[in-house]
Structure 1
Amino acid sequence: MTVILLAGGLGSRMYPLTRIVPKPMVPLAGKPILEHIVDYLNTRGFKEIVIAARYLGEQIVRYFSNHPHAKPVLLDSKDTADAVRLLGNYIRDHFIVAMGDVICNADYSEIYGYHLSANPAATIALKQVENPLPYGVVYLDENMDVALFVEKPVSLEAYLLSLAYYRRRSTSAYENLVNAGIYVFNPYVLEVLERNPGLMDFGRHVFPYLVENGFKVKGYVLSHRVYWSDIGRIDTYKSVMWDLLDGKIAGIKPPATEVSPGVYIHPSSDVRGEIRPPVYIGREVRVKEGAVVGPYAVLEDGVVVEEGSRMVESIVWHGTIVGRDSVIYDSIVMNNVKISRETRVYSSIIGTRRIVSGELRNSIMEPVEVVSPYAQSA
């Protein structure tokens, strides 16, 4: 069956990282977020993947152009459902739609089988969360049919009142269910989209339309053991990175040798400094004597860490040079940055091709130019 990965969003909450790269292509310990998702699906038997690209989509098309099981398509789509509408020629049967920025190790085959057995118009994977406020909430009836959608409005007060009202009406044993961004559709939903060109977004338009017009929409509640995270903000980007290094995402690992528990080092790298797990070190990285890397540190391909430097709780993208006796703490350093010797960087984000010296705290330095971290390998 076909899996469509939606990878066209602007990623505005991830700025300035997404100034130079689409959010699904943000580096996540050796691979773009999107490649981790594609590889996970491939290992689970899904070999027909279509990637819907839009914002900075040329980078996605270039990166996946020779992939044997993922076809990138550059679209001029207006939103999520519109992207699927434009990809109708790739769909022949029941199909899966998933987000290109959500890391989830669910059993997609099980969700697909559940959908086929019930044969609804659509099935939505749902996740129970402690705090549903950042999301739209879904309510199920006793048959696991979707009964109500409560999309988060502009007014928080109105949203909370809606939650209280619908919670009293709900007949399901589940509470705080949010849309996990994994859907299975009956192919006739494409006809619904064609007949209703105003249905642009799945959460705001398509699912409410289907429910209100009598189409059956099933809910599939993910097990509490399933890892799920929507990488929509800088803080969630960091937390998923650290979970990956900690081995908390079964089925998804960094693409390097685990030389000791929590220490992933590519064999092409030259590491002579001290490593404190968990750490990921990519291809052709040099960590010189007297440097200390970790705990919780990621060095992407081609990074150089000079003598005496220290990195803790930080992510450094491709081709960056960290000068000797420098400190980087709780920060993200984007690609091709030059950190001068004896520089201190705390809780900051440094953009592409910057030259940094002195001390930087709680700051954001914009990228000098739009250069993908994968430009050299492309």
Structure 2
Amino acid sequence: MDDLGSADSLRLNLDYYDVRDPVLVIQGDNLFTIDLNDFIKTHETKGAVLTIALSVVDNVEEYGIAELDTDMRIKRFVEKPSAAEAPSKLANAGIYLLSPEIRRIVNDEELKKIVDERRRFDFGFDFIPYLVDKGFPVYGYTLNVWYDLGTPERYLKSMHEVLHGAMNIRILEERIAPGRNIWVQGYSEESFKRREEIIRKYNERKLFIDGAALIGRHTRIGEHSRISDSNIDNFCILGEHVTVERSAIMDAVRIGDHAQITDSIIGRKVVVESTHENPTVIKSTSVIGNAVQLEKGCRLVRTRINPGLKIPPGMSYTDQFLQTYEDIVERAT
């Protein structure tokens, strides 16, 4: 059975699992804080069929935008309007609370006919405007903290702000230095040893951590390396004289000596070969897919690489998207 969009996914799941209770829908590329009890209470008090979490944005062209009345009821909803057409700056945050009545509504013959004609059933473009236009009680609920993680730039910006305290993230370990948001994780006996090793190097000034940082379990970092405003996940190995600034390093990454990674995202199990004579440089919102292998001396600027590719030594790319092995040769500069 074809899935015609985000709202169609909801319809299919409601029917398949015979859901007859209220449903909370959360899109996966969000980071937010919310008082769920208050969210549910507001939904029930208003008698809403749908309550949508909203957040103020500047770039209205990228979101569904709601216009509210004085009671927080949504009067109008426009998906990705121009700045001139936007009824407000309140954006759909992709968090919905739906009453059981929704199951009947999504199976109404009138709505099914619209879906068949459009061959699409999306929350923002189709379902929310339909409910509002038909007079169903649709309400907004404003969030104080919300991040859209849908692009690499937003992901890194969100990571930076969260590391610096924009959200109360739950980390079991205490900060390694008073008044500084630097955490090194370690649960098991072996990972605790790795944690103590990083703290010792930091205290002896053999490892430099600037700004804020979260370093995961079992991670090893060589001497004279510098970590700044970054997240390094579990089971990573960083060599000596490595620089990581404002970047996200996923699980089980290996980074060679003298590598420089700035404002970029490195996927899981990536290998970055690098030496003092031939350092590898990754910067300017480059994104490296899982299990990529970069040989020494590579230079990537605003470049994205699909998972699993192997890049030969000394290759240089600027503003490229490497999807195949043919791209590796043809797009080098």
Q: Quick check: 1:244–1:254 contact (8 Å CA) kept in 2?
A: no
2:124 matched to 1:203? yes
Q: 1:95 aligns with which of 23, 32, 36?
A: 23
Question: Identity percentage over the alignment?
Answer: 28
Alignment map for 1:42-53 (pairs within 5 Å): none
2:100 matched to 1:187? yes
2:218 matched to 1:290? no
Q: Distance in 2 between matches of 1:339 and 1:365?
A: 17
2:50 matched to 1:122? yes
The residue identity in structure 1 corresponding to 2:275 is R
What does the per-residue CA deviation read over 1:62-112, in whole Å, with 9 as the maximum and x for residues that have no partner? Answer: xxxxxxxxxxxxx96332111211221263322222212111101122111
What does the per-residue CA deviation read over 1:228-262, in whole Å, with 9 as the maximum and x for residues that have no partner? Answer: 01111000110111122112113x34565432321
Question: 1:338 deviation in Å?
Answer: 2.8
2:136 matched to 1:215? yes
Long gaps (5+) in structure 2: 202-206, 310-333
Question: 1:306 deviation in Å?
Answer: 1.3
Report the CA distance shift for 1:329/1:84 in structure 2 as closer, same or farther (over 3 A).
same
Using the size of structure 1 for normalisation, the TM-score is: 0.67
The residue identity in structure 1 corresponding to 2:126 is H
The residue identity in structure 2 corresponding to 1:108 is L
Alignment map for 1:10-89 (pairs within 5 Å): 77-88=3-14, 89=17
Q: Distance in 2 between matches of 1:107 and 1:203?
A: 24
The residue identity in structure 2 corresponding to 1:227 is V
Alignment map for 1:222-371 (pairs within 5 Å): 222=143, 226-250=144-168, 252-254=169-171, 256-260=173-177, 261-267=180-186, 268=191, 269=194, 270-271=197-198, 272=201, 273-293=207-227, 295-336=228-269, 337-342=271-276, 343-345=279-281, 346-347=283-284, 348-351=286-289, 352-369=291-308
Q: Distance in 1 between matches of 2:18 and 2:275?
A: 53
Bigger radius of gyration among the two: 2
Report the CA distance shift for 1:259/1:183 in structure 2 as closer, same or farther (over 3 A).
same
Moved more, 131-140 or 278-287: 131-140
Long gaps (5+) in structure 1: 1-74, 154-158, 168-174, 371-378
Q: Quick check: 2:156–2:263 contact (8 Å CA) kept in 1?
A: no
Question: 1:117 deviation in Å?
Answer: 0.8
Using the size of structure 2 for normalisation, the TM-score is: 0.76
The residue identity in structure 1 corresponding to 2:36 is Y
Question: 1:313 deviation in Å?
Answer: 1.7
Q: Which has the higher contact order (CA 8 A, sep 6+)?
A: 1
Question: 1:359 deviation in Å?
Answer: 4.4
Q: What is the RMSD of the two structures over their aligned residues, measured on CA atoms?
A: 2.3
SS of residue matched to 1:143: coil
Question: 1:160 deviation in Å?
Answer: 3.9
Question: 1:324 deviation in Å?
Answer: 1.7
Q: Distance in 1 between matches of 2:91 and 2:39?
A: 16
Report the CA distance shift for 1:338/1:183 in structure 2 as closer, same or farther (over 3 A).
same
Report the CA distance shift for 1:217/1:256 in structure 2 as closer, same or farther (over 3 A).
same
2:85 matched to 1:162? yes
Q: Quick check: 1:254–1:280 contact (8 Å CA) kept in 2?
A: no
Q: How many residues align?
A: 276
Report the CA distance shift for 1:344/1:355 in structure 2 as closer, same or farther (over 3 A).
closer
Report the CA distance shift for 1:253/1:149 in structure 2 as closer, same or farther (over 3 A).
same
Q: Quick check: 2:258–2:274 contact (8 Å CA) kept in 1?
A: no
Q: Distance in 1 between matches of 2:243 and 2:83?
A: 45
Q: Quick check: 2:27–2:95 contact (8 Å CA) kept in 1?
A: yes
SS of residue matched to 1:296: strand
